[in-house]
Each structure stands twice: as structure tokens, then as C-alpha cells.
Homo-oligomer: A and B are copies of this chain.
Amino acid sequence: MQLKQIGEFNFICHIQSDTIYNPDTVIQGIGDDCAIYNTSEHVNQLISTDTMVEGIHFSFHYMMPYDVGYRLMSANLSDIAAMGGTPKQVVLSVAAPDYIDTDILDEIYRGIKDQCKKYGVNILGGDTVRIEGPMVWTVTIIGEVPQGCAVLRSGAQISDVVGVTNYLGYAATGLSALMYSLDGYTMTKIGHQRPEPQVFLGQRLRDLGVHSMNDISDGLASELNEIASASSVSIVIEEKAIPLHAETYALAEHLQTNPVDYALYGGEDFQLVFTAPKSLVPQLQDMDGISLIGEVLSGPTVVQMVTPDKTVKTIEAKGYNHFHES
């Protein structure tokens, strides 16, 4: 059935069931001019908004509608994770052409709802409007963090170690494999289609007392430059310490590319990069999924990488900037 046959209002009614996964905070969900909710005591509120446009940020060539919803939520949850926060509430908006099959919208919502359920996040609002053009999804997410404990990107201090979570370049590997129609690369293809935000690791790193943190949505190069710039420090990383998956090495060999480029310039891993005082190194080394890859130094706000042959390369902030033409 097409959206124009069911109507905007009926579609909203249709999707508004099964939207509350953490009822303690909700006084009134979808259905009035506003939803009503409560915040916890002794916390700060976090807020972020993200928009994904069909054909620019996602495509049904490489993703199922369910995956589009799943990844949309992962991107937003990742912004809360990057502050060390706990996600609480979201509101969604979709602009869709009126000829769209409501089964596609249903599947996107199913992906969104499954991620909300997993992280105990309520869907408190939605707007469904018509567009003569590509689908546009916007999610605003609200989270909480203990008072004064949000981890900013501006907190890096000289002599901090630099760490990252899990594998980098993972989603970019999967996307490349899909674009080149390569068999195999099963894990990284899933990594592109259903990336997982690092909400729980973000909270653990916050509790441990890391100094600065970013999520890796635009590639490691871009995120490290953001930390260096916001904190007015210099960052040096070791190329061989960057954690890459076996499929990334395999793909780079197959395509004759540099494997580390997937980590530096590939988008949407939704892993975390952070800096932490040296005193935390033993605890960080004991944690699963943490790699220490560099150090924070004084000096100009620049990011450099030491290659295996000990050459020092400056890492520019190029990444996934939606407007610059490459």
C-alpha cells in the first residue's frame, strides 16, 4: 500500500504502538501536541540531532530498509555514547514521497524500534510529511550523564594516551566490498549495514575518567583533528597500533589499497576515540575491545602518524564532509 492511500494521520497511528521501552520516565507518549517525560536527579541532559538523506547517507542498493532504520538509530545513539551518556528519549521525523510503499516505512521503523528497545530508549514523537524528492529522516536524541561527567572533545591533556574501541575501518571495508560486488567480507558488510554504537563502553570509559572522547562517524583522521583542535594539543599515533580486522587487510590486498586508509578516512564505524591519563593504562589494557594507539603532546594542533618504517606523516582532517566536492 502506498503512503498516500493510508494517509499521514493513519500511518502515525499505525506506528505509534510499541514505542515505550523505558516507561518510568514517560508521562505521555506520542499523541498530543507534545510528549511529556521526566528527567533524573543529579544529571545533565544531552541532546543531538542527525539527518540522513536517501541517496546521500543511505541507499537501498547496499542496505535493506530494516538496516536503514537500524543505522539511523546507531548514529544517534553513538552521539550519546561519545559523551559517556545514557540514551533516554528520541523523536523522529520522516519526509517521504507519497508513492512509497508503507512496507518500506514499516521495515525502517522496525530497525529503529529494535535499536530503541535494545538500549531502553523511548520514541516520544514523530512527524510524517510528504516530499517530492528523496526520503529524509531526522532523529533527535536525548540522553543523561551524571552531573559534570560528560566527556568533551576539548578535554585532552598533554601526555594522555590515545585509545580507540574495537576495529576501525570496519564499516568502510564492508561498504567497499558491497560496491565492488565482492563475495565474502561477511562481517564487515554487516558492520556497514548494522553498525553498533558503543554506548556501554562509552559509559565505562567515562566512569574510568578518560579526559576527552569522540565517536568515529567521519573517519579517525577527522575525529583526532577535532580533539586536537578543541583541546589545543598535538596528537601522534602509531600506524601499526590501529586495530584493523582481517577482512580489511584482505580487501586492501585485493584492491591494492592501503588498509589503514579505511580507518583514517572511512565513515560510520561508530567506534569511540578517547584520550586518558597515563595512570589509567593498566585498566585500559585489561578492558576488552580497547587499543592504545598514540599519545597527546604539546605543540601546534596537528595530528601525526608514525608509519612502520618510522616516517612521520601529518594526518589531515579530510573525511566524510557532505558538502566538499572531492
Contacts and interface: CB of A to CB of B under 8 A. Distances in A.
A4 to B, nearest CB: 5
A153 interface: yes
B49 A91 contact: yes
Contacts of A9: 321, 323
Contacts of A37: 44-45, 47
A85 B215 CA distance: 34
Interface stretch (A134-142, A234-242, A302-310): A134-142
A56 B133 CA distance: 11
A252 to B, nearest CB: 28
A125 B47 contact: yes
Nearest to A137: B138
B324 A7 contact: yes
Contact of A11 (B56, B230, B323): B323
A4 B325 contact: yes
B134 A132 contact: yes
B125 A36 contact: no
Integer count of this chain's copies in the complex: 2
A49 B11 contact: no
Interface stretch (A15-23, A92-100, A106-114): A92-100
A125 B33 contact: no
A322 B153 contact: no
A39 B36 contact: no
A179 interface: no
A52 B215 CA distance: 29
A246 interface: no
A233 interface: no
B140 A33 contact: no
B83 A129 contact: no
Contact of A48 (B53, B98, B125): B125
A8 B321 contact: yes
A49 B142 CA distance: 13
Interface string A206-221: 0000000011000000
Residue among A37, A79, A93, A136 with most chain B CB within 10 A: A136
Nearest to A8: B323
B56 A129 contact: yes
A204 interface: no
Nearest to A35: B47
B56 A131 contact: yes
Contacts of A130: 53, 56, 322-323
Contact of A44 (B32, B38, B138): B38
Interface string A150-183: 1011100000000000000000000000000000
Interface string A24-62: 000110011111111100001111111111011100000
6 contacts: A35-B48, A36-B44, A51-B138, A56-B132, A128-B322, A132-B133
Interface of A: 3-4, 6-9, 11, 27-28, 31-39, 44-53, 55-57, 78-80, 82-83, 85, 89, 91-95, 98, 124-134, 136, 138, 140, 142-143, 145, 150, 152-154, 214-215, 230, 321-325
What are the 6 closest A-B residue pairs judged by CB atoms, nearest first?
A133-B133, A33-B82, A140-B140, A8-B323, A34-B46, A138-B138
